[in-house]
Amino acid sequence: MKHLVLLGGGHVHASFLQRAKSEKWNCRITCVSPSEYQFYSGMFSGFSEGLYEEADLTFSIEALCRRAGAEFLKAEAVRIDPLKKEVLLQTGGKLAFDLLSLNLGSESHSPFPGHPAVRSIKPAYTFPEKMRKFREADSPVIIGAGIAGLELALSVSAYRRKNGFLSNVTILSNSGIAPSAAENISKGLTRLLEENNIPLFLHQSAVSAKLQSIHTETSRIPFDSALILTGPAPHPMLKESGIACDENGFMLVSKTLQSVQFPYIFGAGDCVSFEEYPGLAKNGVYAVRQAPVLFKNIKRFQLGQKLKPFKPKKRYLSILSAGNKKGVLLYGTYSLYGSFPWKIKHWIDRRYMQKMKR
132-155 average pLDDT score: 96
Whether 42 and 190 map to the same domain: the answer is no
Whether 49 and 130 map to the same domain: the answer is no
pLDDT tens track for 224-271: 999 999 888 898 999 999 999 999 999 999 999 999 999 999 999 999
Other beta carbons within 10 angstroms of residue 303's beta carbon come to 8
Q: What CATH number is attached to the domain comprising 165? A: 3.50.50.60
- Does residue 161 form part of some domain? yes
Label residue 108 by pLDDT band (50, 70, 90).
confident
Residue, of 281 and 85, whose pLDDT is higher:
85
**pLDDT for 186:** 96
Give the H or E element holding residue 7: strand 2-7
- Does residue 347 form part of some domain? no
Q: Is the pLDDT of residue 279 over 90?
A: no
> Parallel, antiparallel, or unpaired for β 58-60 and 2-7?
unpaired
23-39 average pLDDT score: 92
Name 243's bridge partners: none
Whether 81 and 227 map to the same domain: the answer is no
One-letter amino acid of 138 = D
Helix intervals (H) in the chain: 11-20, 44-49, 61-68, 127-134, 147-162, 183-195, 236-240, 284-303, 339-357
CA 328 vs CA 171, 174, 190, 322: distances in Å: 19, 23, 12, 7
- Does residue 354 form part of some domain? no
| Number of structural domains the chain divides into | 2
Q: Tell me what the pLDDT averaged over the chain comes to.
A: 94
Whether 158 and 215 map to the same domain: the answer is yes
Residue that terminates a domain, selected from 231, 265, 293: 231
Whether 124 and 89 map to the same domain: the answer is no
Residue that terminates a domain, selected from 231, 247, 278: 231
**Phi-psi region for residue 323, left (φ > 0), alpha (ψ -120 to 50) or beta?**
left
Name 246's bridge partners: none
- Does residue 91 form part of some domain? yes
CA 312 vs CA 58, 219, 276: distances in Å: 28, 40, 11
Q: Which residues contact 167 (CB under 8 A, 6 or more apart)?
A: 157, 160, 161, 196, 197
**CA dihedral angle for residue 107, residue 184, residue 200, residue 224, rounded to 10 degrees:** -30
pLDDT tens track for 158-187: 999 999 999 999 999 999 999 989 999 999
Whether 135 and 227 map to the same domain: the answer is yes
Whether 122 and 209 map to the same domain: the answer is yes
Whether 62 and 125 map to the same domain: the answer is no
Label residue 114 by pLDDT band (50, 70, 90).
confident
Could you list the residue range(s) of the whole structural domain that residue 282 is in? 3-107+234-303
**pLDDT for 113:** 84
Distance CA 110, CA 233 (A): 10
Q: Are 298 and 307 in contact (CB under 8 A)?
A: no
Distance CA 36, CA 31 (A): 10
Which DSSP category does 114 fall into? T
Whether 196 and 155 map to the same domain: the answer is yes
Q: Are 32 and 55 in contact (CB under 8 A)?
A: no
- Does residue 182 form part of some domain? yes
Whether 223 and 241 map to the same domain: the answer is no
Distance CA 181, CA 336 (A): 14
- For 39, list phi and psi in degrees, rounded to 5: -110, 120
Question: To 5 degrees, how large is the angle CA 292–CA 297–CA 303?
Answer: 135
Distance CA 142, CA 54 (A): 21
- Does residue 134 form part of some domain? yes
Residue that terminates a domain, selected from 231, 257, 283: 231
- Does residue 356 form part of some domain? no
Whether 97 and 192 map to the same domain: the answer is no
Whether 140 and 212 map to the same domain: the answer is yes
- Does residue 195 form part of some domain? yes
Model confidence, pTM? 0.93
